[in-house]
Amino acid sequence: MTIKRITAKEKFKTIAQGWKIQYFSDNDMKWYPQKLAAGESAETIYNLLLFARTPKKVDEIIGNESWTQEFCQECRNYSKDVLEFTDEDNKHIYTVCISCIKKSLINL
Ligand SMILES: [Zn+2]
């Protein structure tokens, strides 16, 4: 088992790459044409993300916080600070927010 902490502070640095993987077609060598939630094209958002220096700025550019958060499987909320537990085969990944981790330690 490996345990990795994922914070928005670290995560936002790779969001532009992740965005390109999701919205750029390597087959056609083109950006997907649809306008996104923020009302901009995927390419425009990508170009802005390249210069984003904080998670807050990433959220503003994209128009929501979905790219800087992880889902906590304990409280079922989104969080900007989680621990990710992965088994040896990389088959099972379990994500728990720091708030839930703290609560569980208090109850010991
Ligand atoms: Zn939680």
Q: What is the pLDDT of residue 74?
A: 97
CA of 28 to the centre of ligand 1 (A): 40
CA of 74 to the centre of ligand 1 (A): 5
Find, among 66, 60, 80, 90, the residue nearest to 10 by Cα: 80
Q: What is the pLDDT of residue 31?
A: 94
Cα-based distances in Å from 59 to 7, 15, 31, 75, 96: 14, 11, 21, 22, 21
Q: In whole angstroms, give the CA distance from residue 65 to residue 22.
A: 16
Q: In whole angstroms, give the CA distance from residue 32 to residue 91.
A: 31
pTM of the prediction? 0.78
Render each residue's pLDDT in the chain as its tens digit; 108 residues.
999 999 998 888 899 999 999 999 999 999 988 787 668 899 999 999 999 999 999 999 999 999 999 999 999 999 999 999 999 998 899 999 999 999 999 977
CA of 64 to the centre of ligand 1 (A): 19
CA of 103 to the centre of ligand 1 (A): 9
